[in-house]
Amino acid sequence: MHNAGSDLVRRSVGVPVPRRAQAALRSMVNETRMQQASMRAIEAVSQSAMFEVVQIRRMQRELEQQVPEATEALALISTTATMAIAHSVARFAQEIG
């Protein structure tokens, strides 16, 4: 049998906190930090993907002006690349989140 007082952690200020509560709190803090890091990573990847899509669309417009007869092919390439980027971001978010 162990002493109930041994389950308490002395703190310099305030009331003693049970070791279990302190461990649970530490676990929650770590989990929250992991979730925040995941959210920041997903946001960064999403922003990067949006930038890439904007660049693809810009390049598409420029090429369409230079070679008007390639408009349909350029639209197909642009749409395919955009969809691939979107799927990659979604897969990343699913794996990390």
Q: Can you tell me whether residue 3 is helix, strand or coil?
A: coil
Q: What pLDDT sits at residue 29?
A: 92
Q: Let me know: does 92 contact 44? Beta carbons within 8 Å.
A: no
Domains of the chain: which residue ranges? 4-96
Model confidence pTM above 0.85:
no
Tell me the average pLDDT of the chain.
90
Residue range 30-73, pLDDT digits in tens: 999 999 999 999 999 999 999 999 999 999 999 999 999 999 99
Q: Is the pLDDT of residue 17 over 90?
A: no
- The CA-atom distances, in angstroms, between 30 and each of 1, 15, 16, 44 are 32, 23, 22, 21
Distance CA 86, CA 53 (A): 9
pLDDT band per the 50, 70, 90 thresholds, residue 16: confident
In 3D, which of 43, 9, 42 has the Cα closest to residue 26?
Answer: 9
